[in-house]
């Protein structure tokens, strides 16, 4: 970030056997695409197949390295063999097929916030696009977040990072609201389904109880008919006995 200390550790490895058993590194330079140059001048002796690390430290300053693009840079190494012969080696850090693609970027505070917020937003967006939400309210919130992010990116292209930050913050907030709406609605639906299941179970239980009571009533009624039938039989037997004992008239 602008005004902070940037550090770069550069390894230099001696694999040039044709230069002899050792070499001297007399200087290592870090040269940016703007011409900004930082050079470490010190003699370091490297034996064959040995490495040495050179530490660069400088202040990231947008007056020297613009915050409007990512900077390429080249590392130059001044080498001297034991006979005193010198040559330069270099390592380019740029966007192309043959070399590593690391670059150096200086951010303003709001610009750094924009980068962080945009990464957070697009993480939400890629994992849960608006159409993946089940509720209408959550989809609307996610769609509004998309609109805010589009506006934010327009301000980025204009270099207005303060406005871009505001809109990216809104986009992230809207997506988090969409998650909350989905969670709240989903919980309500689950509760409703659970209550419906419980009500159905209660109704079935009550229906079963009613059926059991009906069955008991039917059984009791059947017992009544049986007992009543036995009563008739007993009355019949009693009547027969009474008739047998009754004195006959002449």
Domain boundaries, the chain: 5-93, 109-192
Better pLDDT: 202 or 85? 85
DSSP conformation class of 83: T
In CATH terms, the superfamily for domain 5-93 is Immunoglobulins (2.60.40.10)
Q: What is the pLDDT of residue 90?
A: 62
pLDDT in tens, 29-70: 999 999 999 999 988 999 989 999 999 999 999 999 999 888
How does the average pLDDT of the chain come out, rounded? Answer: 79
What is the average per-residue pLDDT within 221-245?
A: 48
Q: Which residue has the higher pLDDT, 222 or 34?
A: 34
pLDDT score at 80? 85
Q: What percent of the chain has pLDDT over 70?
A: 68
Q: For the residues 79-94, what does the mean pLDDT come to?
A: 68
Band of the pLDDT at 237, cuts 50, 70, 90? very low
> What pLDDT, on a 0 to 100 scale, did the predictor assign at position 219?
56
Q: How far is CA 67 from CA 2, 37, 75, 105, 181, in A?
A: 8, 17, 21, 7, 39
pLDDT score of 218: 56
- pLDDT (tens digit, 9 = 90+) per residue, 89-104? 666 544 443 444 578 8
Residue 213 has pLDDT above 90, yes or no: no
Question: Does 194 or 109 have the greater pLDDT score?
Answer: 109
At residue 226, the pLDDT reads 45
**176 class by beta-carbon count within 10 Å (0-12 exposed, 13-18 middle, 19+ buried):** middle
pLDDT bracket for residue 233 (50, 70, 90):
very low
3-state secondary structure 179-216: HHHHHHHHHHHHHHHHHHHHHHHHHHHHHHHHHHHHHH
Model confidence at 15, pLDDT cuts 50, 70, 90, reads confident
């Amino acid at each position: 970030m602008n005004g902070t200390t940037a550090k770069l550790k550069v390894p230099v490895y001696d694999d040039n056997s044709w230069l002899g058993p050792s070499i001297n590194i007399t200087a290592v330079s870090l040269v940016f695409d703007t011409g900004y140059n930082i050079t470490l001048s010190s003699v370091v002796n490297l034996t064959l197949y040995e490495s040495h690390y050179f530490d660069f430290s400088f202040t990231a300053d947008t007056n020297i390295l613009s915050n409007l693009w990512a900077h390429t840079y080249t590392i130059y190494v001044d080498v001297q063999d034991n006979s005193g012969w010198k040559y330069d080696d270099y390592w380019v850090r740029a966007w192309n097929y043959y070399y590593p693609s690391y670059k150096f970027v200086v951010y303003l505070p709001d610009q750094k916030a924009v980068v962080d917020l945009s990464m957070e937003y697009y993480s939400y967006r890629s994992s849960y696009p608006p159409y993946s939400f089940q509720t209408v309210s959550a989809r609307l919130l996610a769609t509004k977040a998309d609109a805010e992010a589009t506006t934010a990116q327009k301000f980025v292209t204009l270099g207005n990072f303060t406005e871009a930050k505001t809109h990216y913050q809104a986009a992230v907030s809207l997506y988090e609201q969409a998650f909350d709406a989905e969670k709240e609605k989903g919980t309500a639906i689950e509760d409703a389904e659970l209550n419906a299941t419980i009500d159905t179970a209660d109704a079935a239980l009550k229906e079963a109880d009613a059926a059991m009571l009906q069955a008991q009533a039917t059984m009791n009624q059947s017992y009544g008919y049986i007992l009543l039938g036995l009563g008739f039989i007993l009355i019949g037997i009693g009547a027969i006995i009474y008739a047998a004992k009754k004195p006959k008239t002449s």
